[in-house]
């Protein structure tokens, strides 16, 4: 053991929060773009496209995120592609997020009342116009709480990127603990930092959900 916990260690942990947030933002934004495409495919009137999207969702949801990380980081290197840890983690989390967000948003779209679709048809709106002007704006309000809830989970799941060497909050805690061996203190701080990041989002998600349910009480 080489000394105790110092201010430098604390600053190092705080700085690693930035990488955790960067990875979360990268995965959420790219996963959201992919999830929107998955959602459109899932609700497509083309049966084959809807089934392809369903297979994709079920396949990704059935594979642990850790395995996806290994496939991207170690699997691509077998074929000569040396992928940086940030890129590999971002790609794996993007794929993982796209499946879950696509399924969440698909459920919100399908939860819209059928008269909304029928009224749009009476106005001679195309399917895309109906989605863009009528259905999606209403579904966004319904989708916001579960989407924020998934973001909270995504922030915590970035800790798995430590297994491929990406230095985010959890990996920074491991590095410090390996040098001073004070696991209770260090990982207690790491857990507290995750709590500070996630708790406000969780409360916001619950608050929005309660507001949406006011009319049902």
How far is Cα 185 from Cα 64, in angstroms, rounded to an integer? 29
Residue ranges of domains in the chain: 7-212
Start-to-end CA span in the chain (Å): 58
Give the pLDDT of residue 165: 87
R_g (Cα) of the chain, nearest Å: 21
Yes or no: say if 19 and 168 are a contact pair by the CB < 8 Å rule.
Answer: yes
Which of 12, 39, 66 minimizes the C-alpha distance to 174?
Answer: 12
Give the pLDDT of residue 83: 85
Give the pLDDT of residue 213: 61
CATH superfamily of 7-212: MetI-like (1.10.3720.10)
Give the pLDDT of residue 75: 87
Give the pLDDT of residue 27: 94
Q: What is the mean pLDDT of each run of 10 residues along the chain (217 residues)?
A: 79 93 94 95 92 95 93 85 88 95 93 83 81 86 89 93 90 91 92 94 81 54
DSSP state of 72: I
Yes or no: say if 99 and 60 are a contact pair by the CB < 8 Å rule.
Answer: yes
Yes or no: say if 93 and 73 are a contact pair by the CB < 8 Å rule.
Answer: no
Q: Could you tell me the pTM of the whole model?
A: 0.88
């Amino acid at each position: 053991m080489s000394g105790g916990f110092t201010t430098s260690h604390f600053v190092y942990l705080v700085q690693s929060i930035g990488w955790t947030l960067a990875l979360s933002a990268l995965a959420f934004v790219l996963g959201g773009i992919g999830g929107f495409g998955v959602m459109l495919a899932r609700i497509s009137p083309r049966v084959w496209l809807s089934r392809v999207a369903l297979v994709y969702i079920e396949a990704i949801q059935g594979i642990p995120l850790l395995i996806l990380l290994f496939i991207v980081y170690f699997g691509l290197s077998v074929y000569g592609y040396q992928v940086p840890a940030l890129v590999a983690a971002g790609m794996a989390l993007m794929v993982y997020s796209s499946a879950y967000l696509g399924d969440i948003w698909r459920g919100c779209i399908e939860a819209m009342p059928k008269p909304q679709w029928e009224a749009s048809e009476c106005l001679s709106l195309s399917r895309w116009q109906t989605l863009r002007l009528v259905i999606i704006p209403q579904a966004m309000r319904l989708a916001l709480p579960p989407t924020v809830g998934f973001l909270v989970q995504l922030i915590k799941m970035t800790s798995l990127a430590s297994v491929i060497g990406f230095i985010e909050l959890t990996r920074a805690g491991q590095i410090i603990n390996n040098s001073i061996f004070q696991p209770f203190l260090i990982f207690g701080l790491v857990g507290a930092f995750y709590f500070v990041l996630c708790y406000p989002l969780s409360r916001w998600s619950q608050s929005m959900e309660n507001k949406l349910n006011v009319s049902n009480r």
